[in-house]
Amino acid sequence: MEKVFKSSKSEKRALKLLDKNTKKILSIGISTGGSAELNIARKCPQAQIVATTIDEKGLQFSNAQLKNFKEAERIVTKIEDVSKKMPYGDNTFDFIYARLVLHYLTKQQLEKALNEIYRVLKSGGKLFIVARNNKEWELTKPEFIISYNEKTNMTTYYEQWKYEVIRTRQFLSTQQLQEILISHGFKIERCKEYKEYLYTDYERTNKNKSSKPNYLTEVVVTK
């Protein structure tokens, strides 16, 4: 039987923003089981959606889930690294969804990715970004920081709810993220910082309530 995954707070905000007549959508970093992409397909019944990832196992899991849903006919899933040149023409997508993915890129990779995202986004199209920001709780705890690479702007640290889990991410302030987007030609439509309890399990049933909520930046930009 197919599993049902809950929508996150930031995913719901993106769904609200989406116009139901949107036709071409790119989701960078497919969600667990393709659940966000299914919700996007339901909100936009005419849309063709491309959902990418660099995680082969995650892709197989998502494909296995998606095959149970008729909306999956409109969702193409694939391995594709957003920091590399993308195989789409200029001005292809009306909407690009990038929730909790761009913070995995180094400063240099993010530059390349934003050049490509700008190129493939249609003029007047929207890019929705959610990334962890530099007010994350771990960053206030020197004992959680393992290293910081000045060249790449990447921080390696112990993630809060599993002390043994080591993560590497690029943390940007909301101001820094906006400035980078503006420097790539995007126009800021809205920007908000908020806290969100991220799920700790694949099925999105357990929120990380025993620990601190995550601090996120959401930016919506247009081309």
Ligand X SMILES: C[S@@+](CC[C@H](N)C(=O)[O-])C[C@H]1O[C@@H](n2cnc3c(N)ncnc32)[C@H](O)[C@@H]1O
3-state secondary structure 153-204: CEEEEECCCCCCCEEEEECECHHHHHHHHHHCCCEEEEEEEEEECCECCCCC
Least Cβ distance, residue 100 to ligand X (angstroms)? 4
The single-letter code of the amino acid at 115 is: N
Task: Please state, in angstroms and as integers, the Cα–Cα distance from residue 67 to each residue in 1, 61, 77, following that order.
Answer: 11, 10, 11
Least Cβ distance, residue 58 to ligand X (angstroms)? 5
Q: Which is nearer to ligand X, 22 or 52 (by Cβ)?
A: 52
Residue 90 contacts residue 116 (beta carbons within 8 Å): no
Q: Which is nearer to ligand X, 100 or 154 (by Cβ)?
A: 100
Handedness of CA 11, 1, 77, 153 (dihedral sign): positive
Least Cβ distance, residue 13 to ligand X (angstroms)? 11
Residue 122 contacts residue 96 (beta carbons within 8 Å): no
Least Cβ distance, residue 28 to ligand X (angstroms)? 5
Q: Which residues form the interface with ligand X (CB under 6 A)? A: 28-32, 36, 52-55, 58, 81-83, 99-101, 104
Q: Which is nearer to ligand X, 13 or 99 (by Cβ)?
A: 99
Least Cβ distance, residue 73 to ligand X (angstroms)? 21
Radius of gyration of the chain (CA): 17
33: left (phi over 0), alpha (psi -120 to 50) or beta: left
Q: Which residue is nearest to ligand X (CB)?
A: 29
Q: Which is nearer to ligand X, 11 or 94 (by Cβ)?
A: 11
Q: Which is nearer to ligand X, 102 or 124 (by Cβ)?
A: 102
